[in-house]
Amino acid sequence: MDPCVIGRERGNADSVANGTSLTGAHKSQEGRHEHNKQITHSMPPEKVEMFESLQGWAEAHVLPFLKPVEKCWQPQDFLPEPSSADFLDEVRELRARTADIPDDYLMCVIGDMITEEALPTYQTMINTLDGVRDESGASPSPWARWTRAWTAEENRHGDLLNKYLYLTGRVDMRAVEKTIQYLIGAGMVSFVFS
């Protein structure tokens, strides 16, 4: 799943506090328990119980979709090899190939890359969710293993796009890097599973 498909509203805690008191605990219409505009439970107990009861199903039917690392492509498969004597020539070829790419296209790739690079935010968001969160950071539960493996798989995407754009010489990388830092620092509020 691409991070782009996760519904979100970044950095706006007010948006999840419909009807909440500023000072007291509150149970929203969707069943989320909120306190001082902070969500303390992402879903009602019956939904938590449902996700916990599905652990066996997730083990048998979800985890098998994870591709072994050794069979996955890696960013380096698509980039000039820095240990090669031909590295600089390969970079020059890459820059020649990308010199005439319209700015509009590059903007799309930059937007994709920034979204991918905010991956820590998505993992954090997933781990706010009752019933599926990674309780220890290395939980053996199938939901937690899926989240970690999905994050690890996704991590390649930003790496590749970042390095590729860097090598083109067409992008103000410092501006992009600042945007990524702002984005991750802002966090996001999710409505997933509400």
Tell me which residues touch Fe ion (CB under 5 A): 2, 116, 154, 157
Ramachandran region of residue 129, left (φ > 0), alpha (ψ -120 to 50) or beta?
beta
Choose between 6 and 48: whose C-beta lies nearer to Fe ion. 6
Question: CB of residue 103 vs Fe ion: minimum separation in angstroms?
Answer: 23
Question: For residues 117 and 130, which CB has a smaller minimum distance to Fe ion in the complex?
Answer: 117
Amino acid 140 reads: P
Instruction: Work out how close the CB of 2 gets to Fe ion at its nearest, in angstroms, rounded to a whole number.
Output: 4
Which of 13, 1, 2 minimizes the C-alpha distance to 128? 13
Question: Smaller CB distance to Fe ion: residue 59 or 154?
Answer: 154
Nearer to Fe ion, 51 or 150 (CB): 150
Cβ of residue 157: shortest distance to Fe ion, in angstroms?
4
The residue nearest Fe ion at its CB is 157
CB of 162 to Fe ion, least distance (A): 12
